[in-house]
Amino acid sequence: MTATGSAVAERAELGALLELCSLPHVGPARMRALLDGASAQEAIAKLCRGRSDSLGALLVCPGVTGVLVGSWRAALTAAHERAASNGCPVGVDRLAAHEQAGVWLEIPTGGETGEVWKADPEPPALLFGRGAQLYAATRRVGIVGTRRCSAYGRTVAQQLGEGLAAAGVTVVSGLASGIDGIAQRAALDAGGLVIGVVGSGLDHVYPASNRSLWVDIAQRGTLLSEYPLGTPALRWRFPARNRIVAALCDVLVVVESAESGGSLYTVDAAAERGRPVMAVPGPITSDVSMGTNRLLAEGCPPVCDVGDILLALGWSELESAPSGALLELPMPESPLDRTVLDELGPASRTADELVLRTGAGLAEVAASLGRLELSGWAAETAGWWERTR
């Protein structure tokens, strides 16, 4: 086959994959069952023929009914008619629409990071991206954690993001609110590389509060999904998204996590793929550190500074890398500031409580809290103050 013929064949297969991904109610597991070792074009032909003996893997897939298969067959028949009228293979019109929208598509096993996906137990059938292509040569660290993070967690996520960016390490996360978005924003603002993996089409921003981060990652990093444009964010898509985060990273770091939640789905996915998992220690009184402290108790290495992560990546000369220590701040000079700091950790307090506990006046405590906030020792959320270090 000539180079031109090969390119045409590859584009036809890419279009067929996109057509399958665009079927209603198709997720990663159903896509694997639809393909069942065949090419996308073969899978479409099989589905259109409708012979039950050729759809064995699909028909035993949870939630797949005869009615659903019938709706897919009707959609693919319509796609064939549309393609015939346009004089192009099935799905190529959808492919052109994605490209016009600035979205690139990649069959993972054939791309730059193909070795990652060839060994993966649940590889995505197709990846959709905005921004830079994925490159195998870069070192990648996943940073995940709770959406309801503490001030301590926010500080740690920011410092890890900045430190990894300074070391030339790509930060991978799910672009969720909380720890994920904070680490990615910090890395991006420090001039680092960021991969944001999302659980919807690249035109459905979720959460809406991270819209500016989506835009910036698409322009200065890589925004990645396994879903075509127009796919909404649904709850079940986020655990599926987390396996891609786990697959792409060389090391996974959990900053804060409750005893259950999305972060621990990512931990399970990382363990299944043989990726090292590290955890940031937190106060034993903090609900959002129960999951991370449990990981430490189970044997995950602790992260006390960026250097710990770089060691896990195989850095042999840490003097050439940023130390990134999380607790290297000079203690406050004011005796009142030190007293207020002692009263803050590990519990959150209001200014009124601090007045009662320190014996100082409200104005003095307010001034002290302002100094501690400016120096990075304390943070306030909805009237509650907490120690960040």
pLDDT by position in tens, the chain (length 389): 565 667 788 889 999 999 999 999 998 889 988 888 889 998 888 888 866 556 777 878 888 888 888 899 999 988 888 888 888 888 899 999 999 999 999 998 877 788 888 889 999 999 999 999 888 778 999 999 999 999 899 999 999 999 999 999 999 999 999 999 999 999 999 999 999 999 999 999 999 999 999 999 999 999 999 999 999 988 888 889 999 999 999 999 999 999 887 899 999 999 999 999 999 999 888 899 999 999 999 999 999 999 999 999 987 544 444 444 454 567 787 888 888 888 886 667 888 888 888 888 887 888 788 888 777 788 887 788 888 77
Q: Which single residue is written with the structure tokens 């130390």?
A: 323
228: left (phi over 0), alpha (psi -120 to 50) or beta: beta
Q: Which residues pair with 278 in a beta bridge?
A: 253
- CA-closest candidate to residue 227, choices 217, 239, 241, 213: 241
Contact assessment for residue 220 and residue 111, using Cβ atoms and an 8 Å cutoff: no
Total-model pTM: 0.81
**DSSP code of residue 318:** G
Q: Which single residue is written with the structure tokens 């979720």?
A: 206
Phi, psi of 218 (to 5 degrees): -60, -30
pLDDT at 53: 56
Ranges of beta strands (E only) in 199-307 are 222-225, 251-254, 277-279
pLDDT at 327: 43
CA distances, 199 to each of 17, 167, 206, 236, 297 (Å) = 18, 28, 8, 9, 31
Q: Per CATH, which fold does 335-387 belong to?
A: Arc Repressor Mutant, subunit A (1.10.10)
pLDDT at 290: 94
Q: The domain 129-320: what is its CATH number?
A: 3.40.50.450
Domain boundaries, given as residue ranges, for the chain: 3-99, 129-320, 335-387
